[in-house]
Structure 1
Amino acid sequence: MNNDVTLHKEDLSDELRLMLSILAMDNKTEITFDLQELIHHADWDRFIELARHHRVFPSLNHKMQKLKTIGIPTFVSQMFHRDYYRNTLQMLALSGEMEQIAKLFSDNGIRSLFLKGPVIAADLYGDVSLRTSCDLDLLIPLKDLERTESLLLSCGYEKDEYIVSVLNDWKWRHHHTSFIHPEKGIKVEVHWRLNPAPAKEPRFDDLWERRRQSSLITRPIYYLGREDLFMFLVSHGARHGWSRLRWLLDIKQLSDQKLDWPKLIVLLRKHQFTHIGGQALLLLAKLFAVPLREEMKPILNDRRAEWSAEDAMFYVHRMINLHSPPISEEVDRYHRKYLFGLLTFRQKVMFIASFLYPYPEDAKTLPLPKPLHFLYFPLRPFIWGWRKLRKTFKDNETYN
């Protein structure tokens, strides 16, 4: 993938450089001359906008309170403090709901691993209030999905019916489904995969064997082992182009823990995420001044890591929200190419081959009784061609 975006931090706006510089400070209260200059020239409205977009205002608030400096306007500190307070209440509410869901599933014999949310905030930052989360994400075995759905519905949750499927393609084209509690305002994403296909997945039983128990509350709540968490977080962040730097900040916090790097490297190689791990580490080095240590070298030796890190700077230079459509045509086109560029050769072959598998649009174009859905396989090229031809006719009519 070719683009003219480089990893030069100097190309970033003053406000983004200021934000990154503050976040990169580890237990420091003295500031450099360069940082003081950035503070002096900052557009503080833009700074607040960036901090909210990247979801890093809790960490910024925590670090800014320790800075021995003048020049940060009072309204900025007050704004972050209010955001921090609201986030704390949100995280406490999520913690309470997480405890209830964990008990519900455990009582009904369903194994669950919490992927993000309060447990990750407590593990990586030591305080649930220092990370933002808007929902709860958990992983369960696919065989327990139907029972999980019934349990959540019985507790007042409503399923977000956004998945349309034919011939059970949802099992691999998607990786989670969502439930929303209308009264509590809490969203729960139930995963049966860590990532959508064609990503290579570890078995749930293997993840469960390597699980950790959170010390956040007394009731047993389980989440991913450190190396599995690193692999999940880098794959998730990369899939979204690191468009929110909170995901990269998570990797910074995790890399400061006692990771078993030889074990992690084997895990990344096995599941074809070595270059994704390298991408994250290179971005950390350039944006957060995280030193690249000797044990990280096997991950960094893959040239694809450098290329994909350069590609990700497209998102860092812009405030892109991939979760809020409509997305501009430029961003949508770039993101499609970027995602394809992340795939290994084997994954690219599988991705291209997946176009031969029927899509829900095929069933919409030519409705058939369910017992005859197998006919969509030989009919797919003709249905696809008809759909394209019909769209061309419609576009011509609009133009004329």
Structure 2
Amino acid sequence: MDNERTLDVSLFPKELKLLLALIGPISPPTSAALKERMTGGGDLSGIDWDHFVRLALHHRVYPTVYTNLLRWDSSPIPEAVMKALYAAYGKNTFQMMHLTATMDKVSRLFDENGVRSLMLKGPILAEELYGELSLRTCKDLDILVSADEVELAETILLGAGYELDEGEVRILNDWKWRVHHISYTNPQTGVQIELHWRLNPDKGKEPSFEEMWARRRTSVLTEHPLYYLGSEDMFLFLVQHGARHGWFRLRWLLDIDRMLEKQLNSSDIAAHLKRYHSLAIGGQALLLASQLLGTPIGPEMKPIAAGNHAHRLARSAIIFLNEMITLSPVPQHLTIYYRRYLFSLRSASQKLLFIVSLLYPNNRDIETLRLPKKLYVLYFPLRPFLWIWRRRKQQASS
């Protein structure tokens, strides 16, 4: 790849470079090959091992790091580091087993009540991409249902002991358009479920639920059939999800690496990305995976990563990886940068919809000025003034 397309990772600390080396494909799997991959022939002196462990935990790739070190020559790695990785790996294994049991129970409840559901991530993704539950981390379950069945699915979850998390206030009956999922938590088990009716919040073009249901696959993870996305839909979802979050966790990029190991139909993937205005986002994922993890990109996929827009997006994501941050909430010093980054991800039609959506009231307007429900329609003409009021108040407090 020419220098103009090479991503600048010169500011990455040695600990992050080591992490990238450990999760990317290395052949032969020896400490010498690992050093060559990480530093171009340097050594591992000067590594802050505590920071390395923090990075592995932050990026949620410690299962891969630990199991790869067991297979490779791990002699340069301190014993305390291996113990810390092992402890996290063991805890995650039990967590994934617990989530699998919950996923099976919820899926049965939905089926018994006539709600069709597709598992988006979680244990299904671990089994599909990594071959076993313990090799991927997950904190919650993401379940996609038809927009027409959201209320029924919610009733089922509430009846099963889940409670609605705090979130967007449902005003003017526009909540299905404004947001793309609602979160629920079971106070007894601590499991959180995100109930989706769209793949993404950007209100752009995406496959309908009926289309995704027709392309669904069946998992053999449990005795009860669990359904999940077809290959093209899954790749689309993963690149859009990772891009929207700035790829601030390497786990999402590792998912792309593992998916590209599968026997994908490259022409179908490219056509799918193009149809849903996501070619540049797909190219961003391919560039990041190939240059940071060493993921092989086949000739059929290379044109997707060749565009200038894809390269700009990949370059923009580097800062999120380098700073070891989360974007919930967004750090203050990156607020403007992240907003501009999100806007650059959108297609022309998505940008137009985003601008229009700014005119719609939201829960912050209600918090600024409480009106009786029968007067909610007044939030439309009042919104610009409420926005100005909040801005001035924020500036005054600053």
Superposition TM-score tier, normalisation by shorter sequence: over 0.9
**How far off its partner does 1:27 sit?**
6.7
Aligned to 2:44, what secondary structure does the other structure show? helix
Q: Is the 8 A contact 2:107 2:117 kept in 1?
A: yes
Q: Is the 8 A contact 2:285 2:314 kept in 1?
A: yes
Tell me which of 342, 354, 361 is aligned to 2:357.
354
Structure 1 residue runs of 5 or longer lacking an equivalent are: 1-5
Specify the code of the residue in structure 2 equivalent to 1:287.
L
2:8 paired residue number: 8
2:50 paired residue number: 45
Provide Cα deviations, 1:298-344, integer angstroms capped at 9, x if missing partner. 31233110000000001111101123x4x431122221111111112
Q: d(CA) in 2 for partners of 1:58 and 1:236?
A: 21
Task: Give the alignment of 1:362-377 within 5 angstroms.
Answer: 362-377=365-380
Provide Cα deviations, 1:336-368, integer angstroms capped at 9, x if missing partner. 111111112222122112112223333444444
1:67 correspondence with 2:67? no
Q: d(CA) in 2 for partners of 1:153 and 1:381?
A: 36
Tell me which of 158, 177, 180 is aligned to 1:175.
180
Tell me which of 264, 275, 281 is aligned to 1:276.
281
Q: d(CA) in 2 for partners of 1:69 and 1:157?
A: 44
Change (3 A) 1:384 1:218: same
1:296 paired residue number: 301
Specify the code of the residue in structure 1 equivalent to 2:218.
Q
1:217 correspondence with 2:222? yes
Q: What is the aligned length?
A: 389
Q: d(CA) in 2 for partners of 1:366 and 1:25?
A: 55
1:161 correspondence with 2:166? yes
Specify the code of the residue in structure 2 equivalent to 1:335.
Y
Task: Give the alignment of 1:90-105 within 5 angstroms.
Answer: 90-105=95-110
Q: d(CA) in 1 for partners of 2:163 and 2:362?
A: 26
1:17 correspondence with 2:20? no
Q: Percent identity?
A: 44
Q: d(CA) in 1 for partners of 2:69 and 2:27?
A: 11
CA RMSD of aligned residues (A): 2.0
Q: d(CA) in 2 for partners of 1:259 and 1:349?
A: 33
Tell me which of 109, 118, 122 is aligned to 2:114.
109
Q: d(CA) in 1 for partners of 2:28 and 2:128?
A: 22
Q: Is the 8 A contact 1:14 1:38 kept in 2?
A: no
Specify the code of the residue in structure 2 equivalent to 1:204.
F
Q: d(CA) in 2 for partners of 1:106 and 1:201?
A: 25
Change (3 A) 1:306 1:382: same
Specify the code of the residue in structure 1 equivalent to 2:199.
L
Q: d(CA) in 1 for partners of 2:274 and 2:242?
A: 18
Specify the code of the residue in structure 2 equivalent to 1:128.
L
Structure 2 residue runs of 5 or longer lacking an equivalent are: 1-5
Change (3 A) 1:180 1:118: same
Change (3 A) 1:310 1:106: same
TM-score calculated relative to the size of structure 1:
0.92
Specify the code of the residue in structure 1 equivalent to 2:373.
K
Change (3 A) 1:369 1:257: same
**How far off its partner does 1:276 sit?**
0.4
1:230 paired residue number: 235
**How far off its partner does 1:253 sit?**
0.1
1:321 paired residue number: 326
TM-score calculated relative to the size of structure 2:
0.92
Aligned to 2:303, what secondary structure does the other structure show? helix
**How far off its partner does 1:26 sit?**
5.0
Aligned to 2:60, what secondary structure does the other structure show? coil
Specify the code of the residue in structure 2 equivalent to 1:155.
A
Q: d(CA) in 1 for partners of 2:368 and 2:83?
A: 55
1:378 correspondence with 2:381? yes
Aligned to 1:11, what secondary structure does the other structure show? coil
Specify the code of the residue in structure 2 equivalent to 1:213.
T
